[in-house]
Structure 1
């Protein structure tokens, strides 16, 4: 029977039965060390040490998403001992297999469980969740991870820009702009600090796909909490109008909503906005009517916007640098769409 733990993980992750892990380490308090057991032909069995070498052990550590091999051990040293009637598998690996179950089975059987194989892989963390907090948006802030039901910060020592790339992508944000440690007092966290070396390549879809090796003693304090700033995904909205299909145009930049100057604004720009907010066609307006929804406050993010009319997002239209303009809020642009 497939263990309930693996079944819950698979269902929560949207995996099928074919995606369930086929190997586990038992007899210790860590998922990265213990006696090796292999799921094959509908049953869990121990693994014979006849062909147990570094190449084979490396397959197991990788399959379990642990770090590199630390030590090869005898499986009989881990309690509770294997049951006498438990099957013993005898895989012969080439070292190129992705999983232990893919290795060819030796026709020679092991005598007893005294030959059971064991392994110690480098311990790694597998985060339940992660977030950026205390910033202006979910794309900017102090990195916190949830592990074993507890939220904690991440020490900047061992953190890389490649890790920031993966994090920003996982959060649904744009590319990383900044990552730093030595947070100011108002940016520091509390509670646990997870020390580790994140070894991302930058192409992974999740930090959990990157080796995250626990470090030993460290001198990290919350002054060393990791801070990450990702680019915001482009967003816009119409505010202070009759409904969500009319109003003063605002765009999101650096986690802050700001207005758009009406210099050069026309029907093509209107249509791109209406299409992006799923509100049908643009209703033509006279220049003075574009101020009907009042002036905004705060930042004016865009000026001299030029669209061809075929763009799927206002982000694709030409404009000045973000925040560069010669306007006042009396020139904030408004848009009215047909709703259908």
Structure 2
């Protein structure tokens, strides 16, 4: 009896080992619009097959999305709807899947591989968030060089340079319709640097170098230990280099402030005006952002000789998306047009939100004034209180607000000219008064006897 028992135990051990070895070593999605969507296929002992959709749900899809370094699970489509369909020679390898949704791999779920009543009409499918959807290079000398940034779910962020190499750069260059990969520079060296609010969205990238887009590579989105000092960069050949020189910097001149005026670009130590025929509002947005102004308000040609430029005219056509950090990031080409200075480009941006305290003993006390459209104006004290004082003192770097009597507040005298803001309401946590609620600029029901005044501690 003992030899028979030992034989049965040995057979059982071999059987269990075979069952464990049959769990999938790889997973892929086939037939979808991108690598994060399609019919679910698994590899078992070197053979690719499908998964039956018996009991297939969002928790199972979540695990597949995680294993493939895609985004969140979106949908559980029928795998049979993806083209081309699975061939008749391809087996259904798994009858049922039971995942909690927290597993890192499908192989960690409970898998039932005794397939007995499932056809390819019942193949399981998965749809995950595409990761990433767009790629751009920021801060370089032209559109084919700079810090690598990707868009994931509408948010732009950077890529960690862990393992970043020439194969990865080659894919970025191909996706952006640039030339060959030249170099893998440090993205942190490009100016302006990525802001602290901008997240590092991808920890690691593994490309063969033959993919058409970065989204087709293996991407590891679980960022654990990467800062903007480790941002990845890319340098590609610039196919536009023989079309037009790139402006080195930009300025607005002859306006009432630094945020409006005639557009001029600098190249090889020479300032040139810009022809309106090659310009649009999206290009204006890039300039306003580069100059630290607010949103672009207006783009038109200079209207009289006093605002027209002199000297060379930059014959470039800018193809900006409106999201660029500066004008140098925009694609460009030569403008086939005989422009005159009567067609010089003029733009107006919102003024940067500046404020000051005037009439006090120091720069941290006095009547509050804000800058709008190049003019300083006062603020009405309707609804004004301690929280609004906190924001102003913080924005000016003047410590905390003191609490003088209303009479002391009025000792700075009434202002003159515009009353720009009224009914300002802050939570006290804002870093700038521009983030507080208020009426439209210039709309109020106040006199200068109601101008806000305050005293800060420093």
Residue 125 (structure 1) aligns with:
245
Q: Any conservation in 2 of the 1:152–1:191 contact (CA below 8 Å)? A: yes
Deviations 1:204-258 (A, max 9, x none): 222112222222451x222211111112222211122111111111112222221
Contact 1:60–1:99 (CA under 8 A) maintained in structure 2:
no
Q: Normalising by structure 1, report the TM-score.
A: 0.63
| Number of equivalenced pairs | 242
Residue 405 of structure 2 is matched in structure 1 by: 286
Structure 2: runs of 5+ lacking an equivalent: 1-138, 147-173, 184-208, 214-233
User: Structure 1 regions of 5+ residues with no counterpart?
Assistant: 1-12, 21-54, 65-92, 102-118
Q: Over residues 28-68 of structure 1, what are the superposed CA-to-partner deviations in whole Å (9 max), with x where a residue is unaligned?
A: xxxxxxxxxxxxxxxxxxxxxxxxxxx9xx7449979xxxx
1:211 aligns with 2:331: yes
1:166·1:205 contact (CA, 8 Å) conserved in 2? Answer: yes
**Which deviations, in whole Å up to 9, do the C-alpha atoms of 1:10-43 show, x marking residues without a partner?**
xxx899xxx89xxxxxxxxxxxxxxxxxxxxxxx
CA contact (8 A) 2:250 2:263 kept: yes
| CA 130–61 in structure 1, closer or farther in 2 if over 3 Å, else same | farther
State which of 150, 164, 170 in structure 1 corresponds to 2:284: 164
- Hey, which bits of structure 1, 4+ residues long, moved more than 3 A? 58-64, 93-101, 119-122
Residue 325 of structure 1 is matched in structure 2 by 444
Cα shift at 1:294? 1.7
**Would the aligned equivalents of 2:251 and 2:263 in 1 still touch at CA under 8 Å?**
yes
Which residue of the partner structure matches residue 199 of structure 1? Answer: 319
Contact 2:299 2:348 (8 Å CA) reproduced: yes
Q: Specify the alignment match of 1:188 in structure 2.
A: 308
1:263-312 CA-to-partner distances (Å, cap 9, x unmatched) read 23222221221122121221112223222112222211011222233333
Q: Determine the structure 2 residue equivalent to 1:141.
A: 261
In structure 1, the residue matched to 2:271 is 151
* Correspondence for 2:367: 248
Contact 2:302/2:343 (<8 A) preserved: yes
CA distance change for structure 1 residues 200 and 301 in 2, over 3 Å: closer, same or farther? same
- The higher radius of gyration belongs to 2
RCO higher in structure (CA 8 A, sep ≥6): 1
Q: Is the aligned partner of 1:224 residue 2:362?
A: no
CA distance in 1: counterparts of 2:452 and 2:236, whole angstroms: 62
